[in-house]
Amino acid sequence: MELALKRHSRFLGRRGPLLLIIMDGIGLGPQDERNAVFMANTPTLDKLFNSRLFCTLQAHGTAVGLPSDKDMGNSEVGHNALGAGRVFDQGARLVNKAIETGRIFETDLWHQIVERGEKGGTIHFIGLLSDGNVHSHIDHLYRLIEKCAELGIKRVRVHALLDGRDVGERSALNYVVPTEEMLARISREKGLDYRIASGGGRMRVTMDRYEADWNIVKRGWEAHVLGKGRPFRSAREAVETFYKEDPDITDQYMDAFVIVDEEGNPVGPIRDGDAVINFNFRGDRAIEISRAFTEKNFEEFDRGPLPDVIYAGMMEYDGDLHIPPNYLVAPPAIDRTISEYLCAQGITSFAISETQKYGHVTYFWNGNRSGYIDERLETYVEIPSDKVRFDQAPQMKAPEITEKTIELLRSGRYRFGRLNFANGDMVGHTGVMEAAITAVETVDSCVKRLVEEVMRLEGIVVVTADHGNADEMFTIDAQGKHRPKTAHTLNPVPFVIVDSGYGGEYEMAELPKRGLTNVAATLLNLLGYEKVEDYDPSLIRF
């Protein structure tokens, strides 16, 4: 299909560039003390949100391809939606369908995994043990385990990564205890050997992303594969001990642990002849551990002898680099992203963020595609993130991103640019209100500078977000106690246009439903082009 854009008959765009600012994790929540966005001093955002060219967007649930409107959005599906211009089934919905229809159990790969188990090997499951439905869902794990039991697979081991981020920050026992009880029941009733073997908090063990800290993956490898870690007789004992030793610790920051038998030997290290399934469906934090299991010439840390295993992802975590080579559920085929159309039209663009969200404004924006679409027309800039807890440095790299973006804008080379400020999301995940307020205020000041620069260049700025987070930092229980909320929210996100030459040529369109997928057509309009025929409607009308 030819990727051609048609010039708009009534609007040719502006003389200067179009800049899209994505304020990660900054939604529009309750206007009270729970909301760091509301509590922060944000003169710039306050003004923008009262603009004539302002509306709100749905950034969760069915609007971004998730199973139901009870499902929180996330940065991956959010950027997929922003770049694709229409809704594609995502993550959990794809896995749900594969399991419900039984297709996941009909593939050659599944049969190879089962064969390993039938020949005496252990089937291992590694992944995030929660129902957050962002990286994984515990129901998927349970269904896979139940299938193994149904088939009579003798040994199953679970390597449980603790969440505390997409769910309550100290909720690990809500998942660990039922899982250990289920595994014990299966073992008892069917004469099988099913156990949790190792684990740890997601921000300390296994689930690094964007190569920010390979030591995180190394800790996971040592626990899951080598059986090295702090020993406990059960995962429940591990969690309860960590809680007792540090009343302030949250699940995501727990150290690696290994379950041992009465003699102190690890009960489930990964060995030759085994099969390993990573049951996470989201890619960013599954890529590095997948590389460790599948790359022969791996140099990021000393793995020791690479075990002879079949390793499978729940999904393909990187479609261009084919990581991992084996996966159980095919990813959505996202084609004809807005960047493909812009490149086909010869429009120059840049994308910039710090490490934590760099993949979002590139890989996910481009429909799960690595690398450039057209390196002659595009520039991608990554500002390395600091390796500190984000509540300790809530400004993150927003000032550096702003400086570099201004440099790119002033070069005069680029017609379109997109950037992501990670602060609202990454600091919001810490649950620290004071830090989140600083994060939001930092973004506000950076947005101010960028808007002023683009106005000077006679261009247009679009400000939005991919999902909420900092807009709801804690909940209040029945006893009136504040409980930190580290997960994303279901709140709408802002969308506003700041147009240096606005003269009433267009207004916000009245649509039955507004979501992130409507942004792509809007950007095309503001660049002076008609929307692509099957893209969701533009948020403006002329």
* Beta bridge partner(s), residue 476: 482
Exposed/middle/buried for residue 215 (C-beta within 10 Å: 0-12, 13-18, 19+): middle
Beta strands in 336-490 (DSSP E): 349-354, 378-383, 416-421, 460-464, 474-476, 482-484
Question: Both 435 and 490 in a single domain?
Answer: yes
Scanning the structure block, which residue is given the tokens 């800049």? 19
User: Are 111 and 62 in the same domain?
Assistant: no
Residue 315, both tokens: 């999904």
Residue 469: C-alpha distances to residues 42, 60, 85, 209, 482 (Å) = 17, 12, 23, 19, 16
State the Rg of the chain over Cα: 24
Catalytic residue among 9, 75, 290, 411: 75
List the one residue out of 276, 342, 346, 286 whose CA is nearest residue 318.
286
Number of domains in the chain: 2
> Looking at the structure, do residues 169 and 202 belong to the same domain, yes or no?
yes
- 320 pLDDT band (50/70/90 cuts)? low
Express each pLDDT in 168-199 by its tens digit: 999 999 999 999 999 999 999 999 999 999 99
263 and 315 housed in the same domain: yes
Q: Do 343 and 280 fall within a single domain?
A: no
Residue ending a domain, among 296, 329, 362, is 329
Model pLDDT for residues 505-533, shown as the tens digit of each residue: 999 999 999 999 999 999 999 999 999 99
Mean pLDDT, the chain, whole residue set: 95
Q: Are residues 491 and 509 in the same domain?
A: yes
Residue 346 lies in a domain: yes
Alpha helix (H) residue ranges in 330-420? 338-344, 355-359, 398-410
**Same structural domain, 269 and 133:** yes
Residues 235, 365: one domain? no
* Helices 235-245, 173-190: crossing angle, 10 deg rounding: 160
Q: What is the pLDDT of residues 26-51, one digit of tens each?
A: 999 999 999 999 999 999 999 999 99
* C-beta pairs of 500-504 under 8 Å, 24+ apart in sequence: 500/14, 500/16, 500/454, 500/455, 500/457, 500/458, 500/459, 500/460, 501/14, 501/15, 501/458, 502/53
In this structure, the answer to whether residues 107 and 176 fall within a common structural domain is: yes
Pairing of β 349-354 and β 378-383: parallel
**Residues near 348 by Cβ (< 8 Å), separated by ≥ 6?**
377, 378, 413, 414, 415, 416
Domain residue limits at 362: 18-88+333-541
1 within a domain of the structure (yes/no): no
Among 284-288, 325-329, 434-438, whose mean pLDDT is lowest? 284-288
Of 306, 329, 352, which marks where a domain is finished?
329
Distance in angstroms (rounded) separating the CA atoms of residues 485 and 469: 9
Mean pLDDT of 466-492: 89
Both 272 and 363 in one domain: the answer is no
Residue 160 forms part of a structural domain: yes
CA dist 240 and 92 (Å) reads 30
Q: Which of 314, 329, 344 is the last residue of a domain?
A: 329
Q: What is the pLDDT of residues 137-148, one digit of tens each?
A: 999 999 999 999
Residue 462, domain CATH: 3.40.720.10
The backbone torsions φ and ψ at residue 289, rounded to the nearest 5 degrees and listed phi first, read -65, -30
Query: pLDDT digits over 246-277, tens only?
Result: 999 999 999 999 999 999 999 999 999 999 99
> Is 124 part of a structural domain of the chain?
yes
Q: 173: which residues sit within 8 A by CB, 6+ positions away? A: 236, 239, 240
Pairing assessment for the beta strands 482-484 and 474-476 based on DSSP bridges? antiparallel
Collapsing DSSP to helix, strand or coil, 321 comes out as: coil
Contact 336, 330 (CB under 8 A): no
Domain CATH for 172: 3.40.1450.10
pLDDT at position 1 over 70: no
Alpha helices of 9-107 — where are they, by DSSP H? 36-39, 43-48, 75-84, 91-101
Rounded to the nearest 10 degrees, the angle between the axes of helix 138-150 and helix 91-101 is 20
State both tokens at 317.
Answer: 């975590």
C-alpha distances out from residue 124 to 28, 154, 274, Å? 41, 12, 7
Q: For residue 13, tell me if it sits in a domain.
A: no
For residue 103, count CB atoms less than 10 angstroms from its CB and return exposed for 0-12, middle for 13-18, buried for 19 or more: middle
- Looking at the structure, tell me whether residues 80 and 112 fall in a common domain: no
Q: What is the pLDDT of residue 319?
A: 62
* 103 and 221, same domain (yes or no): yes
% of the chain surpassing 70 pLDDT: 99
Helix, strand or coil, per DSSP, at residue 28 = coil
Of 332, 392, 337, nearest to 366 (Cα)?
Answer: 337
Confidence of residue 477 (pLDDT cuts 50, 70, 90): confident
Rounded to two decimals, what is the model's pTM?
Answer: 0.76
188 located within any domain: yes
Residue with tokens 């050659």: 108
pLDDT at position 538 is 98
Q: Is residue 10 one of the residues assigned to a domain?
A: no
In a domain, 265, yes or no: yes
Place of tokens 């069915």: 62
Bridge partners of 515?
Answer: 58
Concerning whether 385 is annotated as a catalytic residue, the answer is no
Instruction: Return d(Cα 397, Cα 386) in angstroms, integer.
Output: 8
